[in-house]
Amino acid sequence: MEKTIQIEASNGARSGERILRLRGPLNIHTIFNFQSAVRTEEALASALIIDFKDVPHIDSAGLGAVVGAFVSAQRQQRKLALVGMNERVKALVSMSNLTQIFKPYATVEEASRALAPAN
């Protein structure tokens, strides 16, 4: 099992928006890097988009870390969106009854539009 994850952070399309692009599995071996990156980005951003396009799978620890990121964002009144989840990852989210909490978006652009402040 792969034990590394690459995390690339960048600015989003709007002010205060940051994007985290993940490459590799989100699992018990990689959640600490993920959690650290999320904490860093939450300090910088009012909206955080996490791109799962290059994440082949997530285990229960990884899913817990994503839930933790979501709860933290809500507590801090920040927005968080998940994009690019493959069918395997979507199935885990669905089986865990988390589809009410997470609305996965297909693309970063779609998530950015959804997180944009209402005029």
pLDDT at 117 over 90: no
Residue pLDDT, tens place only, 15-71? 999 999 999 999 999 999 999 999 999 888 999 999 999 999 999 999 999 999 999
pLDDT at 1 over 70: no
Residue 47 lies in a domain: yes
Position 2 confidence tier, pLDDT thresholds 50, 70, 90: low
Q: What is the CATH number of the domain that holds 48?
A: 3.30.750.24
Residue 80 lies in a domain: yes
Kindly tell me the burial class for residue 60, based on how many C-beta atoms sit within 10 Å of its own C-beta (0-12, 13-18, 19 or more). Answer: exposed
Short-list 37, 105, 32, CA closest to 64: 32
State the pLDDT at residue 97: 86
Owning domain of residue 106: 6-115
Predicted model pTM: 0.92
Per-residue pLDDT, averaged over 68-85, amounts to 93
